[in-house]
Structure 1
Amino acid sequence: MRRSPKPCHMAGAAVLSVLLAACGGTAPTGTPGATAYTMSAGTPPPKGDIASFTWALYAEPPGLDYIHAFDYPQNMILANVCESLMRWTPELTMEPGLATKVTNPDAKTFVYTIRPGVKFHGGGEMTADDVVYSIRRHLDPALGSYWNKALDNVESVTKTGPMQVTVTLKRPDALFPQWMATSAGTVVSAKAAEAMGKRFGTADGGVDCTGPFTLGTWTKGQSIELDRFDGYWGKRAKAGKVTFRFIPDVATRTATMTTGETDGGYLITPDSYTRLESSGKGKLYFGKSLTTVSLSVTNLKGAVGDVRVRKALMLALDRQGFLKTGLGGVGTLSGAPAARDAWQGAPAATVDAAYDGLAPASRDVEQARRLIQEAGATGKKVVVATSPIGPDVSLLATAVQAAGTEIGLDVELKTIAPDAYTALFSDPTAREAVDLFPNTYYLSITDPLASYSVFRSGDFENYSGFSDPAYDALFDQATAEYDPAKRAELTARLQKMETEQALWIPVAEWPTTMFLNNRITGAPTTIAYMYYPWAADVGAAG
């Protein structure tokens, strides 16, 4: 999806086209009606090993260097090849990974005890030196890590024992330890990475990590194979080989699943739901995703600079209609940028209170018209970006135009080519000519505070240029709070401040989608596949 912890939105056009040729996470569709669906916590455990399985992927990764892995294709593959100090679980909680233990002796220090006896695919055992090298690569500006925002607060990374690494922060940061379960905490062989140089992470060079699978044959433009690593320190993978096939066309990708040519895939597009469910070849699953579809505000100097106009659009927008036509009826209406599933560890009462009354119960066109009139915005122009990149983008933009026109605004749709749409997330000049654009956003950690970092003064993803010292101070206070319950209370206050300003106009929450052929099972149903070695759990269904 379109989101990035650094000055670069990596979920570009490729992702946008994934979810129905629309991700960006765009969520495409062509489904005229709603799809009945049930959220699944997981899939049945496998009954045995399997020689191999084939997975459909909408695009080929541009590379597999973990510091540049910030999109679906790279992470979905690397999650099975490389590992991090901590590990995201299928339940979206966190557990030890390449570190057996982490201590927090003071607010600015994290000490990681490194797991002994872990072997690299290329030979040799992992050491504290490899960990230090791997994290420091993110801090080298010459390498341009896409994860630099996650490590903004890192002061130093040092080896403090034979199998111990200490990270010292510039200031307290409760999100930092969570980032260590993502690519920000990945560990690679320092010796191999240095030897490969610029070839590291490429088809010609490869990678040298510790995961349950090794990187096998990479046939450019066609596929990547992973082979089971028998020297793996953890649970042995049930499949001997995994083949990822790159199939950009949605119809073709779906067809390979209905014929059994591929055994499944994540990021199933809404227009494929009915075809897959009726194929008899497998089962369609829906699970937690931490993904929201919203409209991002990019211009506070124009008509939408008045919060009454933004709230009027929220009241007039047919969000239920978009959920049905744009997302195939799969999802729930959203009242805030952060998905409810992101609030892991937060008291239920805090979460309920944080969302109480946020989402309009229904459209209220008359109230919306009154707000437009009060703002003196009747007849004023609002430019909304749209793109043929996918129905979720185009249908949402069209819905905004209809809503705005109905309440007295002059809404113009500005069509942007699919390959240029991603520039909206990384290039301020690309946003100069628009007031709003559809944005599907997912989190890489299970903490809603990460969603609200984008509204801080000067943040790269603060597309509107919003600035409020009180908001910044509250965000800093929440970031420095290590107690989950207390941090949740502070985050709820941040959410209230943001929603009162309506800097993003929330539309819907969109679950993870996955299809599994009848012959395999075991894959997680959640977005954990981005950083958890999910393919190692896949085995024979019978």
Structure 2
Amino acid sequence: MTVASRPVLTRRAALAAASALALPFFARAPARAQDAKTIRVSYPAAVATLDPAKFRVGGLEYNYALCVFNRLTQQDAKLQVLPDLATSWEPSEDLKVWTFKLRPNVKFHNGKVLDADDVVFTYKRLKDKEVASVLRAPLDVVDTVEAVDPTTVKFTLKIPYADMPALTAGYQAMVVSPSIMDTITTKPMGTGPFRFVEYRPGDQMLLEKNPDYFLPGVPKLDKVVLRVIPEYTTAVAGLESGAIDIVYDLPAEQIDRLKKSTVANVMEVTAGTWQGIVWHCGMKPFDDPRVREAFIKLVDKPMMTDIATFGHGTPTVTPIPPTHPFFNKSITMGADIPGAKKLLAEAGIKPGFTMEMYIPGQSPSMERLATAFRDAAKQVGIALQLRIMPQDKFFAEMEGKVPLAVDNFFGRTTPDLMLYSWYHSSGSWNNTLWHYSNPEVDKLLDAARTTADKAKQAELYGKFQEIVAKDGPGSVVYVQNFACGVSKKVQGFSPSPLMLVDVSTATVSA
């Protein structure tokens, strides 16, 4: 879909437009008789794969896996690393050997008992170039992984690395077994609190209680229904009618509306998920660093954050959020239109230059961000044509394959995990997304990940932010809040800042 030229977008205009658009849909969702042992959660987009190692899209992918699988570790709302399949872990003094102890008597859904060989298989598969997992690049720190005994796994690293426990909590690091690989993409089986029953693409996924789950009394529900509902207005209407219990990742325009509801609440947390303007550094005109810097200067981050999120986001420089102690507060985040004009002229980009900008659909905030950026580009004589694509088409055919796009990514939990895969020249997301190479950035990121000295890390990451604020592969505009619409009948649930919906301890009243 092409967005035609329109007047300059302001927050007030965007909010009014969103509110008007929402009204006709509220009567569309059918009501249902509430089943107190079933919870229904809506997501705006379908999965691209059921194989955790190959996850790229997030949303339903990550959250179905949270129900069906487990990782060695997990993280709480404060991003502290906690046990999952591993009960404990211990580093060597030089941080180059990490030993994890596994829970005993954990069973996969096919009845096989989990052992260290399954963990070794999982991590060797994640490191396999043919699998092409985005976790492969972060796991390059791992030299070998071996089973010491049935409940002990040892990781030997190439470098000292303090973040190894957090790395094993990665979204793609769900532990699998060779015994379940034949059906990993059709009927996946993990060790999680729910078992996979069926998936109807574009419609819904059905999960059922795992009676053999290793945590006593968990899960409390018998069934989980994960619905695919692209239109948020329809999903919210379903929430208010009782057909849906949780609406995942509410857009900003729906948050204030639901706060007035008598049957649902809004649960909102600060998250590290970021949205931004990204460019392909291997394609013209972004192979010229002057053009990259000019496009960065077009972005008034506070203004565009306000327009896109209606106050439910925070401007940032990179994926390091402003709440993090390593955030570089000295970097300005306003626009410099005269500076952008000068750089574009030096690069030979003349007024009247046109190009397309791609945006994944089902994301009102990214559409507003794109519109605000288009309006800024007009000030330097650049005409952007906005192309809003269905999410599945965007992620399969546009992401990392077009010169200019708006994109977003889930937050990670340590600066190394936030940055290395995106900005290092060897990074998996970098080589998928924006194809950026800066030797000084590589040196800073390599040095930061090999020291446990927090003051030194702060210095290195501060310098990194200064570089990419001028010559970066895109403009990370803001980190957004994560909000869910939740029926008042749901108890025992709270959203995670990692944008995970853990329903393993949730209940639904009749």
TM-score, normalised to structure 1, is 0.77
Q: Please give the alpha-carbon distance, in whole angstroms, between the structure 1 residues aligned to 2:436 and 2:164.
A: 24
Which residue does 2:423 correspond to in 1?
455
- Once the two structures are superposed, the pairs formed by residues 157-236 of structure 1 within 5 Å of their partners are 157-191=145-179, 193-194=180-181, 197=182, 199-202=183-186, 206-219=187-200, 221-235=202-216, 236=218
Q: Please give the alpha-carbon distance, in whole angstroms, between the structure 1 residues aligned to 2:398 and 2:167.
A: 21
**Are residues 1:65 and 2:73 paired?**
no
Provide the identity percentage. 25
Which residue does 1:93 correspond to in 2?
80
The CA deviation string for residues 357-401 of structure 1, in whole angstroms up to 9 with x for no partner, is: 3322xx554565566667775537363513472544443333223
The CA deviation string for residues 273-309 of structure 1, in whole angstroms up to 9 with x for no partner, is: 3443333221112212211222123247856666565
Cα 1:534–1:486 shift into 2, 3 Å: farther
1:157 is displaced (CA, Å) by 1.7
Match of 2:351 among 379, 396, 403: 379
Q: Please give the alpha-carbon distance, in whole angstroms, between the structure 2 residues aligned to 1:384 and 1:400.
A: 12
Say whether the 8 Å CA contact 1:453–1:475 is kept in structure 2: no
Q: Please give the alpha-carbon distance, in whole angstroms, between the structure 1 residues aligned to 2:358 and 2:127.
A: 36
1:82 is displaced (CA, Å) by 0.7
Q: Please give the alpha-carbon distance, in whole angstroms, between the structure 1 residues aligned to 2:479 and 2:445.
A: 23
Which residue does 2:448 correspond to in 1?
478
1:420 is displaced (CA, Å) by 4.3
Cα 1:378–1:139 shift into 2, 3 Å: closer
1:338 is displaced (CA, Å) by 2.6
> Any stretches of 5+ residues in structure 2 without a counterpart?
2-12, 20-34
Q: Please give the alpha-carbon distance, in whole angstroms, between the structure 1 residues aligned to 2:236 and 2:348.
A: 49
Q: Please give the alpha-carbon distance, in whole angstroms, between the structure 1 residues aligned to 2:203 and 2:374.
A: 40
**Are residues 1:438 and 2:406 paired?**
yes
Say whether the 8 Å CA contact 1:228–1:240 is kept in structure 2: yes
Say whether the 8 Å CA contact 2:126–2:136 is kept in structure 1: yes
**Which residue identity does 1:75 align to in structure 2?**
Y
Residue range with higher mean Cα deviation, 158-167 or 122-131:
122-131
Aligned pair count?
A: 477
1:101 is displaced (CA, Å) by 1.4
SS at match of 1:340: coil
**Which residue identity does 2:15 align to in structure 1?**
T
Say whether the 8 Å CA contact 2:331–2:466 is kept in structure 1: no
Q: Please give the alpha-carbon distance, in whole angstroms, between the structure 2 residues aligned to 1:421 and 1:53.
A: 30
The CA deviation string for residues 460-512 of structure 1, in whole angstroms up to 9 with x for no partner, is: 52555443322212211112123455434322222222223243223222111
Which residue does 2:7 correspond to in 1?
none
**Which residue identity does 1:411 align to in structure 2?**
A
Say whether the 8 Å CA contact 2:410–2:499 is kept in structure 1: no
The CA deviation string for residues 33-92 of structure 1, in whole angstroms up to 9 with x for no partner, is: 899xxxxxxxxxxxxx95222111223334422212332112111102210111121322
1:318 is displaced (CA, Å) by 4.8
Q: Please give the alpha-carbon distance, in whole angstroms, between the structure 2 residues aligned to 1:331 and 1:239.
A: 33
1:226 is displaced (CA, Å) by 2.4
Match of 1:292 among 257, 274, 278: 274
Which residue does 1:355 correspond to in 2?
329
SS at match of 2:477: strand
Which residue does 2:29 correspond to in 1?
none
Which residue does 1:278 correspond to in 2?
260
Say whether the 8 Å CA contact 2:137–2:426 is kept in structure 1: no
Q: Please give the alpha-carbon distance, in whole angstroms, between the structure 1 residues aligned to 2:435 and 2:308.
A: 29
Which residue does 1:151 correspond to in 2?
139
**Which residue identity does 2:503 align to in structure 1?**
A
Q: Please give the alpha-carbon distance, in whole angstroms, between the structure 2 residues aligned to 1:222 and 1:164.
A: 41
1:441 is displaced (CA, Å) by 2.4
Structure of higher RCO (CA pairs closer than 8 Å, 6+ residues apart): 1
Q: Please give the alpha-carbon distance, in whole angstroms, between the structure 1 residues aligned to 2:243 and 2:407.
A: 33
> Any stretches of 5+ residues in structure 1 without a counterpart?
1-12, 14-28, 36-48
SS at match of 1:283: strand
Residue range with higher mean Cα deviation, 297-306 or 464-473:
297-306
